[in-house]
Amino acid sequence: MKLSCQENLVKGSGLKEKVEKLESFGFEGVELWGNNLKERLDEVKLAFRGREIKVSTICSGYGGCLLDPNKEERDKAIRDIKELLSLCAELGAVGLVVVPIFGPPKLPDLTPIMNVLELEKRLLIELLNELGEYAHSQGTYILLEPLNRYETHFVRTLNDAKEILTATHGKGLKMMADFFHMNIEEADIPQSLSNNIEFISHIHLADSNRLLPGMGHTDFASSFKILKEKSYSGYMALECGIPGDPDELLPKTVKYLKSLI
């Protein structure tokens, strides 16, 4: 297991300084935001040049929506996601974190022919097959992320994501497990991780209150034990609030998490 941190969580005058700090704190990876990533590609490459710390993943950053009724919006999402997958390959990232839809459904309810959830599943599976093929050709992954019920109506548990992924061809397609969302949606986080470990290629870390691990009531020790038993060797990236000075709290969080690893 390798620790990563989203780039926006650390202080610094630029990405180079942030990367230097995160490496000194003990992180092995940095999760980059996909917004405007193509325009700052040279800055990114310079920031990581000659360093042990790597780009772990790219988080979001695409426009449109995969489950929009407007084909132009779906096509925009597909174009942007493919561009970001190419950048994943260029930067050596594991993959791109993708959320199918935020909020309520946008597609029509076609009951009695097909209800909206059935329609969303069929459409998403077809689009993931296309995007997965492209990700596979680039040597990277789409990382499907389940969210909690307050952020989406669709794909909220690891089992939901597995149901979608097992209906695809599987190439270039994995899931991401987020501890904050799992704290809300999963009845048993360690068991859910165990049941879905073959599909998990990335993890987001946040405590129950969406602050740094150790600041809420999430039992990370039990989950990390399962991850070790199942030989999970991927990145785990911080995506959370920091109620204080990151220069003080991030090194402490690394020490805490590595004590569990």
Q: List the catalytic residues.
A: 145, 239
* CATH number of residue 141's parent domain: 3.20.20.150
pLDDT per residue, tens digit, the chain (261 aa), is: 999 999 999 999 999 999 999 999 999 999 999 999 999 999 999 999 999 999 999 999 999 999 999 999 999 999 999 999 999 999 999 999 999 999 999 999 999 999 999 999 999 999 999 999 999 999 999 999 999 999 999 999 999 999 999 999 999 999 999 999 999 999 999 999 999 999 999 999 999 999 999 999 999 999 999 999 999 999 999 999 999 999 999 999 999 999 999
Could you tell me the end-to-end alpha-carbon distance of the chain, in angstroms, rounded to an integer?
7
At residue 13, the pLDDT reads: 94
Closest by alpha carbon to 70, among 80, 78, 62, 61? 78
At residue 59, the pLDDT reads: 97
Q: Are 141 and 201 in contact (CB under 8 A)?
A: yes
Give me the phi and psi of 136, to 5 degrees please.
-60, -40
Tell me how many domains the chain contains: 1
Residue 134: CB partners within 8 Å, gap ≥ 6? 82, 85, 172
Exposed / middle / buried, residue 125 (Cβ in 10 Å: 0-12, 13-18, 19+): middle
Single-letter amino acid code for the residue at 172? G
Hey, how many other C-beta atoms are within 10 angstroms of the C-beta on 11? 12
What is the pTM (predicted TM-score) of this model? 0.96
Q: Are 7 and 233 in contact (CB under 8 A)?
A: no
Can you tell me the distance from the alpha carbon of 39 to that of 35, in angstroms, rounded to the nearest whole number? 9
At residue 16, the pLDDT reads: 97
Hey, how many other C-beta atoms are within 10 angstroms of the C-beta on 160? 16
- In the block, which residue shows the tokens 């209150």? 209
Judged by DSSP in three states, 139 sits in coil
Q: Which domain holds residue 124?
A: 2-260
Q: At what angle do helices 71-91 and 116-138 cross, to 10 degrees?
A: 30
Can you tell me the distance from the alpha carbon of 37 to that of 75, in angstroms, rounded to the nearest whole number? 19
